Structure 1
Amino acid sequence: MKPVTNRLESLDVLRGFDLFCLVALEGILHPLGRAIDASWYNDFLWGFSHVKWEGFSSWDLVMPLFMFMAGVSMPFALSRYKAMPDKWAVYRRIIKRVVLLWIFGMMCQGNLLGLDPDRIYLYSNTLQAIAMGYLIAAMLFLHVRLSVQIGTAVALLLAYWGAMQFISVDGYGGGNYTPDGNLAEWIDRTVLGRFRDGAVVENGKVVFAEYYRYTWILSSLNFGVTVLTGLFAGHILKSGMEQKRKWQCLLGIGAAMVILGWLWGLQLPVIKKIWTSSMVLVSSGYCFLLMGLFYYWIDYKGHRKNITWLKVYGMNSIVAYMLANVISFRCIGTSLFHGLEQYIGNYYSPLIAASNALIIYVILWLLYKRNIFLKV
């Protein structure tokens, strides 16, 4: 594994920021909230919690940002393949990535490593959403020009909206955007059946968990759009335009998308769990704004001090995600600090969460220092 050079540093740092929030911050702040148990802290935690249904919090941006950045990197990673008449090499690369992300997603949900056939859920994880979005965006990037890519993104947004608004089946759909009545929910229940996350079989009948309202199959159309919006940002960043013009474009496009998304949300609610088209515009707009700000500060202004710790997360993002979701290092913290529980009470749980996050960071730092960057 060779060292990575000539990279877009702002992308590595932004990806690192996203993974730091996902891998470390979330796991510490919520146990800390239970220990503090104060109304002011609970209000603060709203920004680090998902909204129940309609609306959008800052924490709801973590997953779209992860997907968006997969698109940003695409022009840098795949451009050399566009002119090749024989594209089997890149097809194999794409297929390998999609398959590995799908398997890793199942591992993160505990399905494969649980070794329990009753817990096999086929489509239920962020990595699988990235896989679907990446597949759609990569094929478009390799085979059609930018204007067609943009047109396809618009068509997918409208196709999702049209299906949700005008198709009605068994009492679902027809403009119903409630958790129990939307078309995407019906499609997932019908197609995935007992292989949907949270579903169990009782007396020969599939029973769906009341708490689980994420949808994946119809939402895949908009997973593709989310990655495509990152691809469009990547086009700008890789283009020959002046650096100042690049961050201005990113900020301008981001602001326009956010406004347009919230306006569309007056008719098509902004709902992350079913990945509505209005939510795609809102979240991708925020992603454009963040990408523009990070590019302005790091690549344009050249502020590179004290960012290495974020690059440690960002340059091994899949490893960081897998370590956080598949392996628990809490037993190490428990072994080292078990004697403190009697003295610090409710703060013991945040301490163990912090030790788990620290161990993951040390592993990532060791990989970074040795120029080991594991890619899918």
Structure 2
Amino acid sequence: MSSTLNNRLISLDAMRGFTIAGMVIVNDPGSWSHVYAPLLHAKWNGATPTDLVFPFFLFIVGVSIALAYQKRLDQQVDKGPLVKKIFIRSLKIFALGIFLWLWPKFDFGHIRWAGVLPRISLVFLACALLFLYTDWKQQLKISIGILVGYWIIMAYIPIPGIGAPDLSVPEKNWANFIDYKILPGVLWQKTWDPEGILSTFPAIVSGITGMLIGRIILDTKDEFKKLSWVFFWGWAMLGLGNILGWFFPINKHIWTSSYVLYTSGLAALSLAAFILIVDILSIKKWTQIGRVFGANAITSYVLAGMLTLVFYRDIFGDSGLNDMFMETMTGIGFSPKLASLSYAIIYMFIIYIPAYILYKKKIFIKV
């Protein structure tokens, strides 16, 4: 591969960064009352472009694990210190998630223990340990077992006090039931959480699919064959996800098995496109935003969460900066939805400024 940096694909860094930029844009509109439909999550079954962002990041986590740890396995390093570092990193990411939830009031009586960063930490932990102690065939079998088992549990096993699962409503499934009974703290949807306990298992498979694609990238030396295999398996997962969706609906909120395959397929296809354009054709200028955010992905995400204190709170009077922006833009003729999207994009570029400074100074904060 013509453009690798410290065993990292520039294409993967760019894709990671664009995914973070997408997270910031969909999480931070000018007004939640005025958002274009593709920038909202599907209400229940189905998927919008916004529903691709999180699983894309977990897929990238899996690819990154393969690229980062295979060299160490080849060197036959002691796994003990690696495992310790994996647990420490996972705890750091989890703690950052709790910190963002508490920020800025730090009300320890109302903690949401689930969330985006806690799920990333658990997926990273599970996938990294699996990569160290299993081969790709075992990882594939584990993935199939989780996806099939989750399908059976969610679609066919009766729920105590409820009866047969009904996947057309949020309250009649095992993920909801377990979250309500077991998950402590604040639940995002009152009685269940989209990053809850049971749905974390198929989310782990989103990471494993990335590890399997990473294995293809590492083992296939010929660039054309590498690209072809990533592209092929992307289409295969996308097709299987759509077919399974006829029986087990594509649903981000409960991270259904069809959703895993559907989003991992699209993620693999996207990575194939990035590899072709960035690593093979060496067309890189347009990827700067992605490479900047990708170099400090978690840091950029956390910073975006923290700076909402300034850009979304009413610390300047009766309304926040976003409210003042919306009033100004709609007052000069912008549609409310376009004004809201414009604010989200501007906010993304505000986060880009410190990320760019870190990138230029070659400061890479390892969480």
Q: Tell me which amino acid in the other structure corresponds to 1:171.
A: G
Aligned residues: 350
Compute the displacement of 1:282 (Å). 0.6
Distance 1:245 1:352, change over 3 A: closer
CA contact (8 A) 1:17 1:310 kept: yes
1-side partners of 2:117 and 2:244: how far apart? 27
Task: Provide the identity percentage.
Answer: 30
Compute the displacement of 1:213 (Å). 4.9
Specify the SS of the correspondent of 1:96.
helix
Q: State yes or no: 1:66 paired with 2:57.
A: yes
Q: Deviations over 1:161-212 (max 9, x none)?
A: 122133323234644222011011000111114x1424xxxxxxxxx726x6
1-side partners of 2:325 and 2:52: how far apart? 38
Q: Map of 1:45-64 to 2, 5 A cutoff?
A: 45-64=36-55
**Which of residues 317, 321, 326 is equivalent to 2:306?**
326
Q: Map of 1:287-326 to 2, 5 A cutoff?
A: 287-326=267-306
Distance 1:33 1:312, change over 3 A: farther
CA contact (8 A) 1:330 1:352 kept: no
Question: TM-score with structure 1 length normalisation?
Answer: 0.84
Distance 1:121 1:338, change over 3 A: closer
2-side partners of 1:154 and 1:131: how far apart? 22
Q: Point out where structure 2 has 5 or more consecutive residues left out of the alignment.
A: none
2-side partners of 1:13 and 1:179: how far apart? 35
Q: Tell me which amino acid in the other structure corresponds to 1:278.
A: S
Distance 1:270 1:350, change over 3 A: closer
Aligned residue number for residue 345 of structure 1: 331
Aligned residue number for residue 226 of structure 2: 246
Compute the displacement of 1:102 (Å). 0.8
Question: TM-score with structure 2 length normalisation?
Answer: 0.86
Specify the SS of the correspondent of 1:168.
coil
Bigger mean CA offset, 19-28 vs 263-272? 19-28
Distance 1:280 1:340, change over 3 A: closer
1-side partners of 2:325 and 2:210: how far apart? 48
Specify the SS of the correspondent of 1:118.
coil
Compute the displacement of 1:262 (Å). 1.2
Q: Tell me which amino acid in the other structure corresponds to 1:94.
A: I
Distance 1:32 1:148, change over 3 A: closer
Distance 1:340 1:69, change over 3 A: closer
Distance 1:350 1:159, change over 3 A: closer
Distance 1:112 1:267, change over 3 A: same
2-side partners of 1:325 and 1:96: how far apart? 22
Compute the displacement of 1:111 (Å). 2.8
Give the CA RMSD over aligned residues: 2.9
2-side partners of 1:340 and 1:276: how far apart? 37
Compute the displacement of 1:341 (Å). 5.9
Q: Point out where structure 1 has 5 or more consecutive residues left out of the alignment.
A: 35-41, 199-207
Aligned residue number for residue 11 of structure 1: 12
CA contact (8 A) 1:82 1:142 kept: yes
Q: State yes or no: 1:168 paired with 2:169.
A: no
Specify the SS of the correspondent of 1:197.
coil
Q: Deviations over 1:213-241 (max 9, x none)?
A: 52521112111100000111111112243
2-side partners of 1:339 and 1:142: how far apart? 50
Q: Tell me which amino acid in the other structure corresponds to 1:121.
A: R
**Which of residues 169, 174, 190 is equivalent to 1:209?**
190
Q: State yes or no: 1:117 paired with 2:108.
A: yes
CA contact (8 A) 1:173 1:182 kept: no
Aligned residue number for residue 22 of structure 2: 21
